[in-house]
Structure 1
Amino acid sequence: MARALLSSIITLGAKLVAATRSSGSVEALEDDMNWTMSTLKGIQATLRDAEEREIREESVKLWLKELREVAYAAEDVLDDCHYEVMRAKVEARTAAVADPSKKNRRFGEVCVDLEALHLQEEEAQVTDFVAKDSLRKRKIVQVGSSSSEGKEEVIELLLSDHDSASNISTIVIVGKGGLGKTTLTNLVYNDPRVRQSFDRTGWACVSEFFDVRRLTKAMIESISHGSCPLTELSTLQGNLMNLVRGKRVLIVLDDVWNEQHSDWELLQAPLLCAKVAKILVTTRNDAVAVIMQTLPTYRLGYLPEHQCWALFQHYAFGGMDCVDQCNLEKIGKEIVSKCGGLPLAVKSLASLLRFEVDEDCWTEILESEEWQSYVDNETFVALRISYHRMPPYLKPCFRFCSMFPKNYQLSKKQLIQLWIAQGYIQSDSRKTMEEIGNEYVDELMRRSFIDHMSDHSTFYGEDDSAYKMHDLIHDLGGLMSEKEHYAMVDAEMSDLSDEVHHVFVKNNVETVLSGNLTDLRTLILTTDDSKIIHLDDLAKAQCLRALELEVHFLKLPNSIGNLKHLRYLFLLHYEQKSLPPSICLLYNLQILVLAYCHQLVDLPESIGNLNNLRHLTIAFSSIGRLPESICQLSNLQKLPEGPLIYMNYQKDLETLLTYGT
């Protein structure tokens, strides 16, 4: 992450020096800025070697962590200076630009550390990964799978009538991580025979944190296909009882780890009202099967080697037989044998090798020391190998995804905008940052690090796509991020570590707001209820680049204008008629989303000061007209169109699109 971050810093610094030269207002700053830029380039040149050594040398990890923190501090210093230049332009006067000399001393300390480590100082090269399909003959290979056999067995268990004293029957699918338990369960769940046999169906993702209230709520929302505002367990259970009473019900509980029988009994209690309730559970834990099952356990076996090879061919060769590359086929089969019959391991490495036709690269993966690192965990080894061979520009984007909870559906548009806010996407003379972000998402999908789930429209009418990460890939992202990313769902926490920089919080948001916010760069707050949240503590989050408030709040504090690093601001359910004028001091702001702010009737007159604004989304508000200064937003990409905005300022939109594109 540090290399990508420093690339962003260097780009920003170059712009700042150019800006100071053109304005003629900060000549004294140039020497300091140029020295800082030179130092950062030196740090950047060492990181490629450092990241390679991180795989094998634990001692380097501590140094990299410190380097990352210094890089963050450097970015803040340069950003402060850049902010002052922008402020000076807005106010049409000479700015007193902040002096970075104090931070420069810290950069000097890092230079001493660089010499002590004797790391290679060579320019990092970004490899373009291109699939060489020209080397492959167009002979289609069919992908074999044992899922169809397993599917029929599980369906037979589900649909059979069993003599039991209870109306609730539980089938447990047990298997190692990466075997395809969730895939098999999906096939069963969506089979027409199964759908026709049940009146109500629901799916809840469990993972490590088995919270009865959260899971009951998830079952309600899945069965009813809508959100549930209830928060108390007793009322949630009553609601679920009403939904299932006298019905035939199928519930899937995916990825269960909890071994407490009392929690299990409490969770299934509302299902006693159903006529018939079948529960399908997936787990890696044999003890869970013993506790939960009432019907025979289905143990998912390893994929046979010939089917693993077919799967490998499908992803590595695009479904075509590589008849002209006998050596690659030989090496590929040896790699497959190391994957231990685990489909996710095969898929991960095959997706990586789709971009490689060099025999040495294939051999390097076959002989990687990583295979000795995690005994009896072939899937995680394969994922680590794939990660370490990911292009440097893509790694921070992947790690950022681990800040969201497991099984969270990632919005493509939201993800790209958050990446832009963090500086992970650099502008290109040929492409917009949004276009580059789309390519990054597509590349993560091609490498099998994320899976496409669906295409849909956003609440403001634009096309979007949803993606998910496999649990093991999410675990990998968390491991590689070194505690920088954190997700809290229904969890109490006294304070955040200063190592955490990106946080997703669902419910109990007051706990986070009252704690340490100083080092946060991303803060996403969501809640299931309509409780009013007070945001005065946001003033502590001086380093924020991205802030998303999907909560009910009466007032946005005027101190929001002090968050001068902010690039992304998403406000949902804002309950005031106007935004605080200080929001127009956020000169770095690139994305502003105002959704379901029904009370909002106008925007600040100085909104045109936000010259870096790329996206302004207004959905379901009471805004009647846009301020005239809106036409100063020359970087704006587009505005929402159609019935989601009030048509009585359509003329303003036409003017803006004329001047701003």
Structure 2
Amino acid sequence: MWNVVSSVLSFCFQPARNLFLEQTKYILKLEDHLEALQEVSLSLTAVKDDLQNQIEMEERKGLRVLKEFNDWLSKVEAIQPKVTKLLEDSTAEVDRLSMCGYCSSNLFLTYCYGKDVFETLERVKSIMSSKPSGEVARMGPPPGIVKMITQRTVGLEKMLEVTWRRLMEKEVGILGLYGMGGIGKTTLLKQLNNKLLEKRDEFEVVIYAEVSKNIQVEKIQNEIGERLGLCGQVWEKKTQNEKASGIYDALTRKRFVILLDDIWRKLKIEEDIGIPLPSPKNGSKVVFTTRLQTVCGRMGSHDLEVKQLDPGNAWELFRQKVGDSTLASEPKINELAIQICEKCQGLPLALNVIGETMARKTSIHDWKCAIADLESNAAGYPEVKDEILKVLKLSYDDLENETEQQCFQFCALLPDDELISKEALVQYWISEGIINVDDRERAIDHGYRIIGILVSACLLMPFFTFEYVTMHDVIHQMALWAASNFGKEKEKVIVKTGAGLQQMPEDRDWNAVTRMSLAKTEIQNISISPECPNLTTLLLTYNNLVNISGDFFLSMPKLVILDLSHNKSLTKLPEEVSSLVSLRHLDLAQTSLENLPVGLGKLIQLRYFDLTDVRTLQSISVISSLVNIEMLFLHEGSIFLSLELIEEIKLMRNLKGLGVTINNMVVLERLLSIPKLASCIQYITLKGIVAKDGPLQFEAARASLRYIMIRESSIFDIVENTRYGCRSTSAISFQNLSLVIFSGVSGIQDLSWLIFAPNLTIVSVDGPSPELQEIVSSEKVSGVLHKGSSIVPFRKLHAIRLVNLEGLKSIYSKLLELPSLMAMTIRNCPKLKKLPISTKVLDFIQRVDIVADEELCEKLEDEATEDSEDEATEDSKDEITEDSEDEATED
């Protein structure tokens, strides 16, 4: 009986039982299904990535991807967000299970989730198995432009806009983008490629090609040839010249844009590659990136500098890399992060790498150590060395010879957050023997040429005046790394600039040290007596030095450079300085020395001696023994040139540079009457001079003068009136004059002679100067500034300061371009009603820091509006004219 009942019940309830078992598997096997989904989703992602890479390669060859592969990728991309969401929720859903996975705290929710997991797993398996096979792409018409994958950027948007506007200008055919390594040039070029999608109808083809340091012409030709659909078995057998001809023929029939990344040398794009030269007529463009500004010049291109990110964008990029959770983990970390960000000085490469390195570091000690290491030994971080310094090292390796590399290495000794005087840098190189040229004038020229090379390579950065350069923090670390033989000889060069030291470092092997810089520290007393048999350069500038023990100098037999400048509390030097028998360069500028050690006279190797702005010296009689001096600077100090001192200086047979302060007209006339000495004057300060009978006779010194300061004096002029009618301007020019400062100078009515200083960068005139009515007199200069004259007044002027000039009525009656002007200060000049601003005044106002009387500024703004409206009208007229000409041509 029971068996019959059991059979009947089993028959009746079997479907329900099967359905129940089918549904319970969503709960019972949930963990197994999740594990399977995790594995198959990883496999699917890997297959998708491989296919996308393959597709990208095929598209770069000019092939067309088959539709079934794009459809399959669309299915993958559609399912992936659901897979990700299910896996993200898995922890919470599994936690809901109980009784070893046989039950749940909420059966309905677990059932629904488990069913979703199972169905998604089956769907993913189905997609995985349905991937098409065979060839991915076939030959078809090459795409006009291939969109490039670029990383998300911060702060390049403005540079992209500037580059785009410049590129779209009709007269721009070749555009060079230059800047230091890691600044974002490649990213910018790729973004430009993608932005050109907006110009599909204007440009038929846009081609991106990598060039790199070792130029391989055929590689570039093949990249271009693939995009033009030229490649194949026949193409591979062609010579370089034949390929150039094929590319030329193909591009001649198209309006194109060629993007060339990372050029290090001049590339003959037409002759070698086959790219037709762009012109307004064909409307094509070539854009390239380079680290070397000189390449832009040699390529005959318009150029734009890709500069560092501004502080706001730099911080945004760094913040994204570090992560908000890390920055919020400790109150102090955000402050320390800002300091590290500032160290990167807006270099995207450094911000990315260092930001990623510091991500998830939540200990204040880690951040403090990072700051210290980045200041002294950035190469100690593998990420910094491998991903930043080695990238920048390519620019160092590209320097032509060891002399240029040694000059760059020396820059590691200088504070990285200070302006670097070009003149001081060159003098260091000469004194160290890096520039080994017997004639000092030739050596100086060679030094300035090397500075130009380093600036062009973006290893040094130009400042707004031509007299200074700066060095990026990260480049500074690369220089230090190079100077230590790339980390192999770390003790060789010691640099602790701005490190907050309060005493000399004692715990090191002084025998190994060849160069040491302890600039901008807090050292007050030096009492150690180190053995330094190999030390050649010691920089102790901008410290708080009060006392130096004589024992300190006893064991430095090879020291050639000693710089103690800008130690304003230093009142004396020990006699033992005489033991520095190899010393060639001694800088004591802006110290408070009262006397010079008698033993200083024994330093017969001394070539460079600087006592600028030492206002406490009572005597310098010791220099009579220093007959080999080549550069002697005494200006701005307490020592006034005398007739006796002139006689001593005359004995310096190798003298090439001289700086003096003079308060006696007889002494000035005597100095200028000695051609050998007059031709050496570079810096001259006149104080209390009275010369009303005629102009100062600077003719013998005009070629060498770099700096003129006249204070509390009465003079008539600097140049004779007859000279203003001279047609040969070279006979009266102050070619090297850079800085002119007048303060309290009476008698002079104008400063028209300044037009004969083509390299003038700074002019400062401070009253009272009651007779001064004009800066440049139109009447005087009419014979020189005639139509077609080669003189362009003030073309390199960066700053002009006019203060307390109650009689000043005019700077110049005609408009001046002033293309380099960065700052203008005009105060208390009540009779000055107009500025000699050119028609580009609107742009002028945006670039120049103007401090002037309110009425003058308002007038300037009104004129700017009028000029901009006039220019807009002229532009409209030009456009109408061009359009009518085009229409006439078409007709």
- Larger relative CO (CA 8 A, sep 6+): 1 or 2? 1
Given the two structures, how large is their TM-score scaled by the length of structure 1? 0.35
Given the two structures, how large is their TM-score scaled by the length of structure 2? 0.27
**Structure with bigger gyration radius:** 2
